[in-house]
Amino acid sequence: EGSRGSARERRSLSEATARASPGNMARRLFWAVALASSSAWASTAGSQDDAQALRAELAELRALANARFHPEGSRNADTPSARRLAALQLPTSGSTYFTKTAPGATAATATYVLSKIPEAQRVHESGFEDAQTALTTIWLLICGIFVMFMHPGFALLEAGSCRAKNATNVLFKNLINVTVGTVAWYFFGWAFAYGGPKDSDGFLKNRFIGGEGFASSGFISSDDDHGTMVPTQTMTSWFFQWAFCTAAATIVSGGIAERVRFAPYAVYIFIMTAWIYPVVVAWTWNYGWLSRVGDDAGYMDFAGSGIVHLTGGVSALAGAAILGPRKGRFDEDAEEKFAPHNLPLLVMGTFCLWFGWYGFNCGSTLAMQTSENGALAAQVAMNTTMSASVAGLIVFSLKFVTLKLYDVPAFCNGILGGLVSITAGCGNVETGSAICIGLIGGLVYTGSAMVVKKMQVDDPVDAGCV
């Protein structure tokens, strides 16, 4: 009766295993252990039949494991997970563990397989961690590319907002933003922003600025056994945060458009991306002195309303104020002369920025390993969408009520103001609050744009106000 019971268990377990995912090798190993255990506990009558059935079952599992970890022609056939699985030395159909005819053969097999459980669990956990790391890496790379796509948005928006004769100048400076900013971030910016050393609690020791990782120092390790270079996950963070750094610098180019020569502007961009922005990041996201202010929460900025956009916006406003207005900007007939020359470019730029903002905000989850990470990213995307829409409608409505005009540039800037407003709290508020944040952002943009114009500060794209 025990032998018949174990046979039924084997059939049930085989059916369950057949329904399981082909890639889940760890689960199949555990089924095999259960089979071996049930056979060991069965009566010795019919033990030879049990051994034959167990041999066939484990041979099938072995073949599936080999197919999973050693696919023909695969570049990953010699991966660490595959090598660790092979090191378990699971019994095959020709193994001596299945050639014994003594009643204790199945018990010996069960004992052997059970002894491999701890190592099998380690292989499974290691492979699971590798998969989680791979998903997070892909997620951050994709989101970083989205943020990079904001640069075409900035270029289109600024070119459309300025006079036609200066469009080439504006586009050239947008290229300077990315190229010079990248070099500065590589040599100095990353180290100052995210370098150590840290104390035992994870805070910067000097509380002011990082001092490790200049020029990608420590980004690559070596595999002495194979004589190859092994890139680290630091490169993923470098790329994602580089996109944020250059975005902060690009905000300035719109505020000082049509008034700066190339050489001094390139020097400014280098200083902005190598020192100014990295210092702000070190104080906050890298757990410097500002992150310790207040209660246990410290300084919170989910995706960078203050760290990225306020830093860039204040720099743009200061630059516009210091440089002074363009010649004739505040004359009586200036509105028509200095109006945006190409609304299609302006609107397309706004949509490109809105598109890239999803990488900006959703990517700030910094992980995509669990369903909770995915749900948080969806929450961020929804909040971002609602805030931008509400802010744009508020600004458009106010302009229409006061001027009786369909003010497209103001509509676009209202959308961008809503995006900036929600960026800090997009992962920490529910959608109703995001709508309120967008509403307030639209009002703040409208009021600040009026004040800046009253003060005769010439900001062609309202970068500081946004």
| Cα–Cα distance for residue pair 62/60, rounded to 1 Å | 5
Q: What confidence tens digit (pLDDT) does each residue in 263-275 have? A: 999 999 999 999 9
Q: What pLDDT band is residue 100 in, cutting at 50, 70 and 90?
A: very low
Q: Could you say which DSSP state residue 325 is in?
A: P
What is the three-class DSSP state of 108?
helix
Average pLDDT over residues 443-466: 96
Q: What pLDDT band is residue 60 in, cutting at 50, 70 and 90?
A: low
Helix (H), strand (E) at residue 220:
strand 220-223
DSSP class per residue in 167-213: HHHHHHHHHHHHHHHHHHIIIIIHHHHH---B-TTSSBSSSS---S-
Question: Who wins on pLDDT, 426 or 335?
Answer: 426
Q: Is the pLDDT of residue 178 over 60?
A: yes
Dihedral sign computed on CA atoms, order 353, 355, 356, 358: positive
Q: What pLDDT band is residue 51 in, cutting at 50, 70 and 90?
A: low
Q: Is the pLDDT of residue 50 over 50?
A: yes
Average pLDDT over residues 247-266: 94
For residue 335, what pLDDT is reported? Answer: 83
For residue 23, what pLDDT is reported? Answer: 45
Q: What confidence tens digit (pLDDT) does each residue in 213-238 have? A: 999 999 998 887 888 888 999 999 99
Query: CB burial class (10 A; 0-12, 13-18, 19+) of residue 12?
Result: exposed
What is the three-class DSSP state of 442?
helix
Q: What pLDDT band is residue 84 in, cutting at 50, 70 and 90?
A: low
Q: Is the pLDDT of residue 68 over 60?
A: no
For residue 130, what pLDDT is reported? Answer: 85
Mean pLDDT of the chain: 83
